[in-house]
Structure 1
């Protein structure tokens, strides 16, 4: 199994496929996303791999949908969040937030590298995704205020073309998006920025 991690680490050190890979799982309106403004808020997230039943799994979280001001409530995402003033860099942000949200000791996580940053206009966040792994299967302790459920997804599920689908999504009372690409895993709709990051991760691994 370690061959997968070694391949991933080598691939992350090579030039990244970037936005072209991200846009393969983006809705049409994302193709016209403007550059991030100067006041964009910084955030870091972590694509955390770990071994389970002889397969590498990827850690995702389902965010609660209780706060009407949370633009990402009820969505599936990677653990992560906003950079705090005390964070030396965004890698520190991603590790700190991961520990807070899913209860994994950040000292046990080995960061392999980063993916291409991604601007999210609806919340004005400029997100830097990182990729890391644990050598063991963790016992997750989700933070109730931030995490409704931890999703333990075999990475092979994202490689399966049958799990790439499209759906019409009602975002709010005024906005409905047509033909939104998403990953259908564990009865969840993984779309938007998270799907775009996973799309680049697949291409990094040559699985696109």
Structure 2
């Protein structure tokens, strides 16, 4: 089956695997849901999983955060950030994508959304959206927030989930991850990618 914008939209309109996919990439001793004492402290953010074709293959735009950042330094993520007062989650995703990689909302077709997920260590509830850009993206990087963009082929997610030991502010941590171009993709980004891949894979295998 051709994986195009229309079929991705159909796949996202069906029931999503949610925590089943998230759990595959969940670091040890972390929770997928906020505990009672954490509920009042939840903050909200949104991200955009931006899709485009490169060499006739479906790619996701990932970003590497600069080493100088206070939070998430050197980590691989998706364009996005905290939802500001008066904004919807989707407006935040559009704004952050424009600010970080220079792609305007007029060029993006929103195909749907993925399951929200809670990141226990930061207290953020993340709202992931899936967008499509039909033309070859010309990224304009905000060097204060992005070191570089990474064109990540969706087929890479077929590979076996690996494990890596990373340094966090709480110490060394073993995490499930995807590896690509000598980078480690773990945590919330890996969980979002896992659900997206599972959603598309299920749709394509049941609609052959």
Counterpart of 1:170 in structure 2 is 167
Cα distance, 1:31 vs structure 2: 4.0
Runs of 5+ consecutive residues of structure 1 not aligned to the other structure: none
Q: How big is the shift at 1:11?
A: 1.2
TM-score, reference length from structure 1:
0.89
Unmatched tracts of structure 2, length 5 or more: none
CA displacement at 1:147 relative to structure 2: 0.3
Cα offsets for 1:82-109 (capped at 9, x unmatched) = 112242x101110110111000111110
Partners of 2:134 and 2:49 in 1: CA distance: 14
**Equivalent residue number for residue 146 of structure 1:** 145
CA-based RMSD: 1.9
Q: Paired residues, what number?
A: 201
Q: With structure 2 as the length reference, what TM-score do the two structures score?
A: 0.89
Cα distance in 1 between the residues matched to 2:13 and 2:173:
35
1:5-61 deviation line (CA, Å, top 9, x unaligned) = 222111111111111111111112124653452231111100000111111110000
- Residue 131 (structure 1) aligns with: 130
Contact conserved, 1:23 with 1:30, CA < 8 A, in 2? no
State the match for 1:7 in structure 2. 7
Residues 42 and 125 in structure 1, CA contact (< 8 A), matched pair in contact too: yes
Aligned to 1:199: 194
- The range that moved more, 105-114 or 31-40, is 31-40
Residue 60 of structure 1 contacts residue 153 of structure 1 at CA under 8 Å; is this kept in 2? yes
Give the aligned partner of residue 98 of structure 1: 97
CA contact (8 A) 1:95 1:106 kept: yes
